[in-house]
Amino acid sequence: MIGYVCVGTNDMGRATRFYDALFGEMGVKRMMEFDGFVLWGKPGAAALAVVKPFDGNSATVGNGVMVALSAGSKANVDKFYAKAMELGGTDEGKPGARGDTFYAAYFRDPDGNKLNVFFMG
Domain harbouring 103, CATH code: 3.10.180.10
What is the model's pTM? 0.87
For residue 44, tell me if it sits in a domain: yes
Question: Would 58 be classed as within a structural domain?
Answer: no
Domain count, the chain: 1
Q: Does residue 82 form part of some domain?
A: yes
- Residue 34 in any domain: the answer is yes
Percent of the chain predicted with pLDDT > 70:
99
Is residue 93 situated within a structural domain? Answer: yes
Phi, psi of 4 (to 5 degrees): -160, 160
Question: Does a structural domain hold residue 39?
Answer: yes
pLDDT exceeds cutoff 80 at 28? yes
Residue 121 has pLDDT above 70, yes or no: yes
Q: How sure is the predictor about 1, in pLDDT bands with cuts at 50, 70 and 90? A: low
Q: Does any domain span residue 57?
A: no
Strands (DSSP E) found in the chain? 4-8, 29-34, 37-41, 47-51, 67-70, 90-97, 102-108, 114-120
Nearest CA among 99, 100, 41 for reference residue 70: 41
Judge whether 61 lies within some domain.
Answer: no
Q: What is the pLDDT of residue 62?
A: 87
* Residue 35: domain span: 4-52+67-120
